[in-house]
């Protein structure tokens, strides 16, 4: 378990381990973020951060209407496809931002440049 705690202090590591112990196996047993937050006495935002840390540490935690550990290849595939779709959508959302940043870069490097000149 020590490799899972990389970059976490002892207190954070304890929360991390506790979170992992609360995530059930199988989609039919998924636990809602609000329940995890309530059981752990932390905010939903902190739950999201811990889930992200767990995933980055190599733990496969799937999510639909709640969090769960996939137990079948079909659960794993559905989670993979949903996550991939969210990534594509996020990239599409950022494309206009990238274009504006590129335009700003061509006009100068002033970080305080207004996006909406008067």
Q: What is the pLDDT of residue 103?
A: 86
In a domain, 25, yes or no: yes
Q: What is the pLDDT of residue 104?
A: 84
115 Cβ contact list (under 8 Å, min separation 6): 100
Residue 58: domain span: 2-106
Q: What is the pLDDT of residue 7?
A: 47
Helix, strand and coil in the chain, % to nearest 5: 65, 5, 30
Q: What is the pLDDT of residue 115?
A: 57
Q: What is the pLDDT of residue 117?
A: 55
Q: What is the pLDDT of residue 108?
A: 46
Low-confidence ranges of the chain (pLDDT < 70): 1-13, 106-118
In a domain, 88, yes or no: yes
**What is the CATH number for 91?**
1.10.10.10
In a domain, 115, yes or no: no
In a domain, 8, yes or no: yes
33 Cβ contact list (under 8 Å, min separation 6): 44, 47, 48, 66, 67
Predicted TM-score (pTM) of this structure: 0.71
In a domain, 78, yes or no: yes
Q: How many domains does the chain have?
A: 1
In a domain, 112, yes or no: no
31, 24 in Cβ contact below 8 A?
A: yes
């Amino acid at each position: 378990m020590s490799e899972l705690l990389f970059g976490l202090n002892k207190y954070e590591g304890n929360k991390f381990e506790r979170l992992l112990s609360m995530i059930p196996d199988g989609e039919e047993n998924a636990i809602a973020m609000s329940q995890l937050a309530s059981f752990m006495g932390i905010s939903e935002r902190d739950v999201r951060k811990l889930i992200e840390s767990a995933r980055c540490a190599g733990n496969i935690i799937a999510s639909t209407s709640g969090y769960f550990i996939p137990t079948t290849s079909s659960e794993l595939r559905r989670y993979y496809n949903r996550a991939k779709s969210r990534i594509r959508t996020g990239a599409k959302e950022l494309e206009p931002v990238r274009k504006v940043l590129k335009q700003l870069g061509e006009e100068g490097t002033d970080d305080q440049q207004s996006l909406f000149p008067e």
